[in-house]
Amino acid sequence: MLSYQSTLMEPVRLDVATPSRAYTVTIAPGALNNLEQMLDDVHAPGRRFVVSSPLVWRLHGPQLAKALNGAGTHAEPILVPDGERYKQLPTVARIYDALVAANAERGSTLITFGGGVIGDMAGFAAATYLRGIALVHVPTTLLAQVDSAIGGKVGVNHPLGKNIIGSFYQPHAVVVDPALLGTLPRREFRAGLYEVIKYGMTSSAPLFDRIGRERKPIFARAPETLTEIISASCRIKADVVAIDEREAGPRRILNFGHSAGHAIEAVTKYRRYRHGEAVGYGMLVAAELAAARGALAERDRQALADLIASLGPLPSVADLSAAQIIGAMQHDKKMVAGRLHFVLPTAIGATTIVDDVTEKELKTALRKVGFSA
């Protein structure tokens, strides 16, 4: 029997119909408790392995272990570190080692239980171990719940660049339990909220408005409110991924804020900012660019800036120069034929993609947002 913590809410189920696999994202407070049933529903093979981090396992492992009490579940979780600097092939090798040691065969399911780092790394292990075993994501950060667990991008960093090694490998299911976010540090939680703002700004004015209106219950992590904003975000990602699995076209709109964002992360060696914070700045830069071109109304640019500011101050960028950021952008792998593609907002909930942004425009926009000359 299914039992959810919240009696008021039905679980939200979203279909992600990609060409390579169709799967369901289930979102509900307490969804974790029904994990075994959901695995059985999607016929996830019976030998089940969990990959998590020591911290996530300490906080939530007992609940997951209780939910997965079927005979096939491998008793010991595979625990690997989850800092960004561990998102590397040697950590994936440790996952392979554990799978080999346990004689994991093709009929195995790998369950990722952690933030985006665990999901990306363990997802890559699942994609490559025996040329692919079943994968189920149980994301535990807001960023992973609204973004990285959906869409099939898995992979690791190379010492010389982020996410350089990877694959597209869709999961069999994604199980999102917003109650897991109760233990997330405030900074991590906020970092995920910038991605929610991204979905609102690119694709949904109602979601955008809701973040401003419901800031209090969001920050109080009220499960019903979280379920709603997470579901709205996942629906947008699911729809985009379904029409553009490998990011050839429409999926690129979800890179809004990411051109400058990735550059900010790169020049600070992925240490100073959380990814979402860098995206917060990146969205401000894109909005300044769009407003300067007259493509975005000043009122809408201000609304975005206000919403971002309402989450609290972003760590300063005053000591980073516009030239450094531009240099890093020119190295980004999202350059197509030497041109930098830029997602510009045209209104709240709408974007356009351009490839003719000049260095001069960029420099002006970066300075307006607080970068030095």
Ligand X SMILES: NC(=O)c1ccc[n+]([C@@H]2O[C@H](COP(=O)([O-])OP(=O)(O)OC[C@H]3O[C@@H](n4cnc5c(N)ncnc54)[C@H](O)[C@@H]3O)[C@@H](O)[C@H]2O)c1
Q: What is the rounded CA–CA span in Å between residue 372 and residue 316?
A: 11
Shortest Å distance, C-beta 275 to ligand X: 5
What part of residues 149-208 is at the interface with ligand X (CB under 6 A)?
A: 151, 153, 163, 180, 183-184, 188
The residue annotated as part of the active site, out of 153, 190, 235, 252, is 153
Stretch that binds ligand X, among 53-61, 69-77, 127-135, 299-307 (CB under 6 A): 53-61
**Does 131 qualify as catalytic in the annotation?**
yes
DSSP string, 308-338: HHHT-PPPP-TTSBHHHHHHHHTT-TTEETT
Quick one: which segment of 139-147, 244-252, 296-304, 364-372 binds ligand X (CB under 6 A)?
139-147
Tokens of 335: 């350059």
339 contacts 329 by C-beta, under 8 angstroms: no
- Compute the least distance from the CB of residue 77 to ligand X, in Å: 14
Residues 6+ apart with CB under 8 A from 152: 18, 20, 21, 168, 169, 170, 171, 241, 245
Angle at the Cα of 125 (from 121 to 128), degrees rounded to 5? 135
Q: Are 330 and 242 within 8 A, CB to CB?
A: no
Q: Look up residue 88 and give its DSSP letter.
A: S
Specify the stretch interacting with ligand X by CB under 6 A; choose among 116-124, 168-176, 261-269, 307-315.
Answer: 116-124
List 120, 245, 265, 300, residue binding ligand X (CB under 6 A):
120
Among 12, 35, 39, 56, binds ligand X (CB under 6 A): 56
Alpha helix locations (H) across 102-222?
116-128, 142-143, 186-203, 205-213, 215-219
Residue 237 lies near ligand X (rule: CB under 6 A): no
Candidate segments 49-57, 64-72, 98-106, 312-320, binder of ligand X by CB under 6 A: 49-57
Q: Closest distance between ligand X and the C-beta of residue 11, in Å?
A: 19
The one catalytic residue among 36, 188, 214, 247: 247
Closer residue to ligand X, CB minimum distance, 283 or 365: 283
- Of positions 34, 68, 82, 251, contacts ligand X by CB under 6 A: 82
Question: Burial of 76 by CB count in 10 Å (0-12 exposed, 13-18 middle, 19+ buried)?
Answer: exposed
Q: Which stretch binds ligand X (CB under 6 A): 3-11, 146-154, 226-234, 294-302?
A: 146-154
Dist. CA 270–CA 264, nearest whole Å? 8
Closest distance of CB 365 from ligand X, Å: 23
CB of 309 to ligand X, least distance (A): 21
| Catalytic residue flag (residue 258) | yes
Told to check if 244 binds ligand X by CB under 6 A, we report no
Contact 241, 251 (CB under 8 A): yes
DSSP conformational letter for 252:
G
CB-based contacts of 317, cutoff 8 Å, min separation 6: 264, 281, 369, 370, 371
- Per-residue string for binding with ligand X, 277-316, x by CB under 6 A? ----------------------------------------
**Largest pairwise CA distance in the chain:** 63
Q: Is 114 in the site for ligand X (CB under 6 A)?
A: yes
Q: How many residues bind ligand X (CB under 6 A)?
A: 27
Q: How many CA atoms lie within 13 A of 311 on its CB side?
A: 25
- Our answer to whether residue 333 is catalytic in this structure is no
157 is annotated as an active-site residue: no
CA distance 221 to 123: 27
Among 210, 237, 252, 301, the active-site one is: 237
Structure tokens at 101: 């040691």
Could you confirm whether 251 is annotated as catalytic?
yes
255 flagged as catalytic:
yes
User: What is the contact surface with ligand X in residues (CB under 6 A)?
Assistant: 53, 55-56, 59, 82, 84, 87, 114-118, 120, 140-141, 143-144, 147-148, 151, 153, 163, 180, 183-184, 188, 275
Q: Which residues are catalytic?
A: 131, 153, 195, 237, 247, 251, 255, 258, 262, 275
